[in-house]
Amino acid sequence: MNTSIPNRLFVRNRTNLAAQMPPKSVAVFTANEPMPRNGDEFYPFHQQSDFFYLTGINEENAFLIIAPDYPDETMREVLFIEPYDEVKATWQGEMLDAKQATELSGVMTVKGSDAFWSFVNDIALSGYANTIFLNTYEYPKYECAVETIQQRFVKQVKERYPMHNYGRTAPILNNLRMVKSEEEIAITRQACDITAKAFRRCLQTVRPGMYEYQVQAEIEYIFKQNNASGHAYAPIIAGGKNACCLHYSKNQSLLRDGDLLLFDIGCELNNYSSDLSRTIPINGKFTERQRDCYNAVRRVMKEITKLYRPGGTINEINEATRRLMEPEMVKLGLFTAEELRNQDPDKPLYKKYLMHGMSHHIGLDVHDSIDKFKPFAPGMILSCEPGIYIREEGIGIRIENDLLVTEGEPINLFEGLPTEIEEIEEAMLKKFTK
Active site residue 356: yes
Beta bridge partners of 279: 262
Residues in the chain: 434
Catalytic residue among 212, 268, 400, 402: 400
Active site residue 385: yes
Active site residue 360: yes
Read off the amino acid at residue 282.
I
Catalytic residue among 128, 212, 398, 402: 398
Cα radius of gyration rounded to whole Å, the chain: 24
Catalytic residue among 70, 308, 350, 389: 389
Active site residue 164: no
Active site residue 389: yes
Catalytic residue among 8, 152, 247, 289: 247
Active site residue 53: no
Q: Where are the beta strands (DSSP E) in 48-90?
A: 63-66, 77-81
Active site residue 41: no
Catalytic residue among 218, 259, 264, 326: 264
Using DSSP's 3-state secondary structure scheme, residue 232 falls into: coil
Active site residue 365: no
Catalytic residue among 77, 268, 326, 385: 385
Catalytic residue among 77, 275, 326, 365: 275
Catalytic residue among 14, 76, 189, 360: 360
Active site residue 50: no
Catalytic residue among 46, 164, 322, 367: 367
DSSP structure class, residue 110? E
Find, among 101, 119, 138, 95, the residue nearest to 26 by Cα.
Answer: 119
Would you please indicate which residues are annotated as catalytic (active-site) residues? 40, 247, 264, 275, 356, 360, 367, 385, 389, 398, 400
